[in-house]
Amino acid sequence: MERGINDPDTLRAMRQVERHEFVPEKMKKGAYSDSPMSIGHYQTISQPYIVGYMTQALKLKPEHRVLEIGTGSGYQAAVLATIVASVYTIEIVEPLGIVAKKRFQDLGYDNIRTTIGDGYHGWPDEAPFNAIIVTAAVKKIPTALIDQLAEGGRMIIPVRHSDLRYYLVLVTKKNGEISYKKLIPVAFVPFTRNTD
């Protein structure tokens, strides 16, 4: 974990969470290479470097409540849950959400709440969140997610830029004002909607 991941909590969480627990049986051997991997349903578990980068960018504190859009394998949620008090994670592909929920139970992550649905709307009943992490790429940042960010909160989200590439964008809310900072270029599966 070179290349600028130096936040002690992020490094500790990534050492602690066993990535092989989150990939399909036949792929366990490759679980510790720094690359994305298929988890079925045309979805992927993110590259460990990107998981570390996004986690670090959220500047998490132990008491934080975090919302994740795109549960996928559950790996990113497990890394977050190792650092913060509670994680809420939403997955749109039902079978992935079900497998991840069972995985969290089996591995003892009792501070992760899961739901199946379209993360475009966030999780209004549990808002506001100190941090929001979106792990599928959007063309436009959903307003509901900005609304559900707590004062002082940070959101990290892959957004399509005018050059048609995707960049991680850091959204911060300070004194009610929203700021955007473009970070590194990334490859992500697209954000999907059941309705449009």
- Cβ at position 88, least distance to ligand SAH in Å: 12
Residue span 45-84 as binding mask against ligand SAH, x where in contact by CB under 6 A, dash where not: xx----------------------xx-xx-xx--------
- Comparing CB distances to ligand SAH, the nearer of 140 and 175 is 140
Helix (H) or strand (E) holding 79: helix 75-83
Q: Are 156 and 136 in contact (CB under 8 A)?
A: no
Residue 91 makes contact with ligand SAH by CB under 6 A: yes
Q: Are 60 and 131 in contact (CB under 8 A)?
A: yes
From the candidates 33, 35, 38, 46, which is the catalytic residue?
46
21 token code pair: 């627990």
Alpha-carbon distance values, 128 to 48, 88, 145, 147, 157 (Å):
27, 11, 9, 8, 17
Residue span 101-140 as binding mask against ligand SAH, x where in contact by CB under 6 A, dash where not: -----------------xxx--------------xx----
Residue span 23-52 as binding mask against ligand SAH, x where in contact by CB under 6 A, dash where not: --------------------xxxx------
Buried b (16+ CB within 10 A) or exposed e, 3-33: eebebebbeebbeebebeebbeeeeeeebee
By the criterion CB under 6 A, which residues form the site for ligand SAH? 43-46, 69-70, 72-73, 75-76, 90-93, 96, 118-120, 135-136, 189, 191-193
